[in-house]
Amino acid sequence: MALQPINLTPPASTDTPAVLALAFRPFFLLAAIWALLSVALWLGQLNGWWSAQQLLPATLWHAHEMLFGFGALVAAGFLLTAAQNWTNVPALRGTKLALLSLCWLAARFVPLLTSELTAITLLAVLQSLWWLGVIAAFSRQLWLAKSRRNYPFIAILTVMMLLNLSFLLLAHAGMPDYAAHLSHSMILMFCLLMGIVGARVIPFFTARATATVQISTPGLDKAILFVSLPATALFVSSGFYPPLFSPGYLMLLSAVLHLLRLGLWFTPKLLKHPLLWSLHLSYLAMALGLLLMALSLLTELLYFKDMLHLVAISAMAAMMLSMMARVSLGHTGRPLLVGNLLALSFAALLLSGVARTLAVLLAKPLLLWQLSGALWLVAFLIFIRVYLPILTSPRLDGRPG
């Protein structure tokens, strides 16, 4: 018999603003707003509309804010919220959640307000405090419930934090190539995270929404993890030491396994549901992106940096946008339905990554870079327009959260 978790969820409190009721609310909202503002700033620099004396070189700042700023915040918001469902242990909320959100927010503005190298310490401290706060809160939930199945997420978050701090250290030490390599490594860490979470939620969501049998692939799940872990570790180390063999071989195998699993999950019925096809297409983008990244490492036909943008935008960001939309509806007591406007948002972000990846084919890639950026802005502008009132309002059913 399965042990039933003790209900530790506190009663609703009138003292806690709705936006601070659970981590997904402030984290998703801040992430979407920053996704909009930071890419607008990045496009302004690409077009020469403005320049700033930044703490980090422009390309490293862009990578840092997309991965360690936007991406990390969405992942943390999802995990802290999901952990309450997994464990029935109350998640971070109220004043502590507000302080953690402010810590993240302060870290976003340090690189824009100063070019003094000593300020890298302040950025590193703020980032560290945010990471440690997230990891501590998440670990507490899992520890109290003895949720050992979810302990690997603690390791993933810890590695992400170490990559973030190492990135800042290398950037400060004047080693931009090494710092850039760690940002590329962070994308593979997100692939690892998406592979684990995707295996849990995508077939479940698909079966539930389409009234079909849920597809279980335990052997394939283990094989993907068995390949993805050494592939990621080998890629990270390859930027500092010559590898025994190219990580491209393992990345190629991982891509094939992901494509196989996605094929088993597919049913034509999912095409009627934007919350489903957005997840499936973003997962497809991850598999194809890994395939192209692997080929770029094994041949000279493709440029690695262009290929990884398919993963960073059409896979990582698009899957996050879809999950943000779904989690925000489900955890505010609303039906899991989105209209044409959100479908447009999902499509725009998926196409944004495709445009950025294909930019290498043009003699003047700036045109497709701008198109990619414009599609990104449209996607997050729509999300903010639709979800701002949802994320800042109490649940419709009156429950806490």
Q: What is the pLDDT of residue 397?
A: 83
**How far apart, in whole angstroms, are the C-alpha atoms of residue 31 and residue 328?**
13
Is 90 exceeded by the pLDDT of residue 98? yes
Q: What is the pLDDT of residue 52?
A: 65
Is 90 exceeded by the pLDDT of residue 371? yes
Least confident of 13-17, 110-114, 168-172, 323-327: 13-17
Per-residue model confidence as pLDDT tens digits over 177-234: 999 999 999 999 999 999 999 999 999 999 999 999 999 999 999 999 999 999 999 9
**Average pLDDT score over residue span 8-17:** 56
- Amino acid symbol at 85: N
**Average pLDDT score over residue span 73-87:** 96
Q: What is the pLDDT of residue 49?
A: 83
Q: What is the pLDDT of residue 14?
A: 52
Q: What is the pLDDT of residue 147?
A: 94
**Confidence category of residue 9, pLDDT binned at 50, 70, 90:** very low
Q: What is the pLDDT of residue 117?
A: 65
Task: Look over the chain and give the mean of its residue pLDDT values, rounded to a whole number.
Answer: 92
Place of tokens 């992400």: 160
Domain ranges of the chain: 17-174, 195-395
Q: What is the pLDDT of residue 6?
A: 33
Q: What is the pLDDT of residue 2?
A: 34
Percent of the chain with pLDDT over 90: 83
